[in-house]
Amino acid sequence: MFLTRMKGIIKKDLNQENVLIYGAGESGVLLVKESSINPNFPYKIVGFLDDNINKIGGKVYGLRVFGGLDKVREVVEKKDISKIIISMPSVSQNKVSNILKEINKIEGLSVKILPNVDNLIEEGNLATQLRNIKLEDLLGRDEIKINTKEVFDFIQDKIIFVTGGGGSIGSELINQIAKYNPKRIINIEINENTSYLMELELKRKYPYLDYKTEIASVRDFDKLDILFNKYKPDILFHAAAHKHVPLMENNPEEAIKNNIFGTKNIAECCLKYKLESVVLISTDKAVNPTNIMGATKRVCEMIFQKYSEKSSNTKFMAVRFGNVLGSNGSVIPIFSKLIEEGKNLTLTHKDIIRYFMTIPEAAQLVIEAATIGKGGEILILDMGEPVKIYDLAKNMIKLSGSTVGIDIVGLRPGEKLFEELLYDVNSSEKTSNNKIYITNMENEKVKVDIEDYYTILKDLIKENDIIGMRRTLANIIGTFKGRVE
């Protein structure tokens, strides 16, 4: 049987790429097994790389384990390797990032990654499920450590509302919250398609979870009031918002109606029904905003700060963070799709820099931030080191084995070249989690009575006075740096 398998490996088309498998474990062996029985397997597996010294020099399923990371270049050159398949589903992102940095030094060498075996779409067809690298593979992130006991005490047996639970952050918040034994989770979402898919996924993952979707808009105060009265929530995470910068730049009235008035409706209901804690999901774009989306999110923070002053029962707080990897409409999934389609990547500026965090990281820290907040604060998530998007795009192209180019198309309306730091280490207050800070409250203090502007904004929307809306947002915020004409 073994000889039959090996003959299958040897009798391969000479045009096949020579590949090494990084990871001589169970999933790597599955690939070798498939290559021996699948006549259409596209690669010739030459051997393994592995960092386990007990495996180096030996053989796994008849193939040699040549060495670890320090042997990559030597083996690639000796064996004429054109691709490395990383088959280490349980290894940390940091480890994958270090491997990719080493591989990236070698010209003509590309990478594929085998997903976690549990996430494979179908058994026995692994080659078609090998994926190109993603941005998170390149970045490498330290594992987030949270105070599980505090989060458990915060969530357990509570009725939780999540607005916008069908979106990238909202859906991950629900997934994370479900682990901590809530009494019930209610997803308030206007998009019925994403809501339906969420229900299917949650029923599969958490069959005993009391979960319900309510199709509703945060703009509709009367419907919200009915839902609050019906379910009597304890905690609310407000993730519903319009977040797309160029679209909101061209449709400021929609950003104002959804973000500002939607947040006001949520805050009013939370105050009325005396919730324990309410958390606004905010953004780095609220810092000295240069666009309508960021400006409306800064006003949302101000609304929560004002409602915190009104309430002695409910803790109103906001959590700010930057770009999340893989969020709906973000640039990285678009890059990946263009690479797969063999099309040039489009980038707005060669020097554009951003901070990134994975969606699970952000959701975990938002939930812990909610346990830390006492009310009235703006909590800031540490996004790590800034990333130059052009360099990342080049690395994604190279390591995917693609030859597509990068087209520089110019900054979009309202887009910043450099995102500002979310916090100043010297003036921000540290918390029990080294990834969470509390911003200097004097710097963020609301200097206007936001309630004076609600009627003005409503009238401007009725009149479709775009310039008036921009000027009013600038008057409210004071640090608005976007166009007002």
The residues annotated with a catalytic role in the active site are 285
Structure tokens given for 196: 């339906």
Judged by DSSP in three states, 440 sits in: coil
Query: What DSSP letter does each residue of 285-339 carry, written as one string?
Result: GGSS--SHHHHHHHHHHHHHHHHHHH-SS-EEEEEE--EEET-TT-HHHHHHHHH
Cα 473 to chain centroid, rounded: 28
Question: What backbone phi and psi angles, to 5 degrees, belong to 94?
Answer: -60, -40
Report how far residue 439's alpha carbon sits from residue 411's, in angstroms, rounded to the nearest whole number.
29
Report how far residue 238's alpha carbon sits from residue 482's, in angstroms, rounded to the nearest whole number.
25
Report how far residue 26's alpha carbon sits from residue 50's, in angstroms, rounded to the nearest whole number.
12
Report how far residue 425's alpha carbon sits from residue 421's, in angstroms, rounded to the nearest whole number.
10
Edge-to-edge strands, sheet with 235-238: 211-215, 184-189, 159-163, 235-238, 277-281, 315-320, 378-381, 436-438, 429-430
Helices (H), 115-167: 135-139, 148-155
Q: Which amino acid is located at 212 in the chain?
A: K
Find the helix packing angle between 168-177 and 359-372, rounded to 10°.
60
